[in-house]
């Protein structure tokens, strides 16, 4: 049987026939220009199996000492995930324009990046996308001579297991995933034998939420049931997680959302699975006159929970790679990183931040001291990894079943 996949000629002919137009055809051709890959090309990095990616001959870092381009520099990021003041300072310093495009989730983002329809320069993914991004040659290796500020970040990110030698990535933020609650609506979650149980507590039906991210939410369901392999490929574990999702649906009908940073302080929610950065942000969404003391956050004291980090990468199709390097250098600067923290609520892994002093230094209110992310947790916590194709499909099917409300 002939290969049914696309070639350039058939794509052009079909696009013309169907009236898809030049832009669509160009996007498809761009996709065709990528290397042909199979599932076996995907190498999954993990703390137990650190990866040093091969730098391809046709995807080399930029040369040393180049002058910056005239811009505009295009960032591809979540909404409100970079401080406008920090961006403006960069624009002023280099006399260029910075444009920000936003996405809702990284699956959507990668699809759009692959079309090549917009020449994004810098993308802000989580570390659990890096193997696909490198395998498909969507990211460009970094030239370290432009990035001396890497010395400012925690040592663990100067040689991370997902990118040994930080050839493609620099860290952007670190965060934990725990439980946020309002203490005027919900009792002290931290004192429960199993604090995750609060999300299954029927008395909070209608005021509960979990994060609308399949892996983060399902991993939490697994942790509650004692499954510490948050990337499990065991059918039995996935059944347990599926049962847990059914149970939470029956017990509390949780909202599945990413807007808990405003819903919790607004009183729509009493308790929610939350990212630490979101509970920090929640204080700014409290109604006028409401004290921040009402907000609480729990994460296991021993760090045996989910901790993650987001990255900055330079995309191969960007038109301003030098500016992109300079922007990353700008964001790794201590002052800019702290200023950015003040706006987005997500902590940068900067050495200068003493995580035991975030309250004393005014970055966190005392009642949210538990939202501080500690460097040592990255050695002991559970990390959400990229999954191989078959396992990824199995996890997504369980999540799909839950989201269908069936």
Partner 1 sequence: MSTEDRGNRFLGPVLALPGIVWLLVFFLAPLYVVLAVVFGGLDPIFRTAVPIWNPAYWDTTQMRYVLEHIVGPTGFFGPALLRTAVYVVTASLLCLVIAFPIAYYVARLAGRWRGLLLALLIAPFWISYMMRMLAWVNLLANDGLVNRILPGQVDWLSGRSEVVVLGLVYGYVPYMIIPLYAGLDRLPQSLVEAARDLGASRTSAFFRVTMPMCRPIVVASVLLTCLPMLGDYYTSDLLSGSPQTSMVGNLINETVLTPGQTGQAGAFVLLVLLVSLLPMIYYVRSVSRDEAGL
Contact residues toward partner 1 (CB under 8 A) are 1-2, 4-6, 10, 14, 18-20, 37-39, 41-42, 105, 107-108, 110-111, 114, 132, 135-136, 205-207, 209, 249, 253-257, 266-268, 287, 389, 392-393, 396, 400-406
Pick 110 or 150: Cβ nearer partner 1: 110
> Which neighbouring-strand residues pair with 175?
308
Pick 190 or 251: Cβ nearer partner 1: 251
Q: How far apart are the C-alpha atoms of 348 and 134, rounded to whole Å?
A: 24
Pick 154 or 402: Cβ nearer partner 1: 402
Please report how close the Cβ of residue 117 comes to partner 1 at its closest, in angstroms.
Answer: 14
Q: How far apart are the C-alpha atoms of 353 and 218, rounded to whole Å?
A: 31
Pick 15 or 306: Cβ nearer partner 1: 15
Pick 218 or 371: Cβ nearer partner 1: 218
Q: Which helix (H) or strand (E) holds 173?
A: strand 170-182
Nearest-5° Cα angle at 330, 326 to 333: 140
Pick 238 or 372: Cβ nearer partner 1: 238
Please report how close the Cβ of residue 18 comes to partner 1 at its closest, in angstroms.
Answer: 4
Pick 4 or 65: Cβ nearer partner 1: 4
Please report how close the Cβ of residue 5 comes to partner 1 at its closest, in angstroms.
Answer: 7
Please report how close the Cβ of residue 373 comes to partner 1 at its closest, in angstroms.
Answer: 27
Give residues with Cβ within 8 angstroms of 249, minimum separation 6. Answer: 402, 405
Q: Which helix (H) or strand (E) holds 385?
A: none
Q: Which three-class secondary structure state does DSSP give residue 289?
A: coil
Please report how close the Cβ of residue 253 comes to partner 1 at its closest, in angstroms.
Answer: 5
Give residues with Cβ within 8 angstroms of 53, minimum separation 6. Answer: 134, 163, 164, 167, 168
Please report how close the Cβ of residue 260 comes to partner 1 at its closest, in angstroms.
Answer: 10
Please report how close the Cβ of residue 42 comes to partner 1 at its closest, in angstroms.
Answer: 6
Q: How many residues in the chain?
A: 406
Q: How far apart are the C-alpha atoms of 314 and 141, rounded to whole Å?
A: 7
Please report how close the Cβ of residue 14 comes to partner 1 at its closest, in angstroms.
Answer: 5
Q: Which long-range contacts (CB under 8 A, 24 or more apart) does 278-283 make?
A: 278/180, 278/345, 279/178, 279/180, 279/368, 279/371, 280/345, 280/346, 280/364, 280/368, 280/371, 281/344, 281/345, 282/180, 283/365, 283/368
Burial class (CB in 10 A: 0-12, 13-18, 19+), 329: middle
Pick 155 or 206: Cβ nearer partner 1: 206
Pick 18 or 66: Cβ nearer partner 1: 18
Please report how close the Cβ of residue 262 comes to partner 1 at its closest, in angstroms.
Answer: 10
Pick 14 or 148: Cβ nearer partner 1: 14
Is residue 251 within 8 Å of residue 224, measured between CB atoms? no
Omega within 30 of 0 (cis) for the link into 142: no
Please report how close the Cβ of residue 16 comes to partner 1 at its closest, in angstroms.
Answer: 11
Q: How far apart are the C-alpha atoms of 244 and 96, rounded to whole Å?
A: 51
Is residue 64 within 8 Å of residue 143, measured between CB atoms? yes
């Amino acid at each position: 049987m002939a290969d049914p996949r696309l070639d350039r000629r058939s794509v052009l002919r079909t696009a013309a026939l169907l009236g898809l137009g030049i832009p669509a055809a160009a996007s498809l051709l761009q996709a065709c220009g990528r290397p042909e890959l199979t599932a076996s090309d995907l190498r999954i990095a993990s703390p137990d199996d650190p990866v040093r990616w091969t730098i391809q001959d046709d995807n080399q870092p930029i040369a040393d000492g180049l002058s910056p381009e005239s811009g505009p520099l295009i960032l591809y990021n979540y909404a409100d995930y970079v401080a406008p003041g920090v961006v403006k300072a960069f624009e002023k310093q280099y006399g260029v324009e910075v444009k920000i495009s936003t996405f809702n989730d990284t699956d959507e983002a990668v699809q759009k990046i692959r079309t090549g329809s917009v020449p994004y320069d810098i993308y802000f993914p989580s570390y659990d996308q890096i193997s696909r991004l490198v395998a498909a040659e969507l990211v460009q290796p970094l030239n370290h001579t432009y990035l001396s500020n890497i010395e400012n970040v925690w040592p663990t990110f100067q040689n991370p297991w997902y990118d040994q030698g930080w050839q493609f990535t620099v860290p952007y933020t670190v965060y934990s995933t725990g439980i946020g609650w309002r203490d005027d609506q919900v009792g002290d979650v931290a004192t429960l034998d199993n604090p995750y149980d609060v999300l299954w507590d029927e008395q909070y039906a209608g005021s509960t939420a979990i994060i609308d991210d399949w892996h983060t939410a399902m991993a939490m369901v697994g942790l509650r049931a004692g499954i510490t392999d948050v990337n499990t490929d065991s059918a039995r574990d996935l059944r347990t997680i599926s049962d847990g999702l059914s149970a939470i649906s029956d017990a509390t009908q949780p909202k599945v959302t990413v807007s808990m940073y405003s819903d919790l302080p607004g009183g729509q929610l009493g308790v929610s699975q939350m990212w630490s950065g979101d509970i920090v942000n929640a204080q700014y969404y409290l109604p006028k006159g409401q004290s921040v003391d009402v907000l609480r956050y729990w994460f296991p004291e021993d760090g045996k929970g989910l901790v993650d980090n987001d990255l900055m990468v330079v995309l191969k199709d960007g038109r301003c790679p030098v500016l992109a390097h300079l922007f990353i250098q700008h964001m790794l600067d201590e002052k800019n990183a702290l200023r950015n923290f003040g706006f987005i609520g997500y902590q940068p892994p900067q050495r200068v931040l003493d995580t035991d002093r975030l309250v004393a230094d005014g970055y966190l209110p005392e009642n949210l001291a538990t939202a501080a992310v500690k460097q040592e947790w990255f050695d002991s916590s559970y990390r959400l990894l990229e999954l191989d194709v078959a396992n990824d499909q199995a996890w997504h099917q369980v999540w799909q079943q839950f989201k269908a409300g069936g």
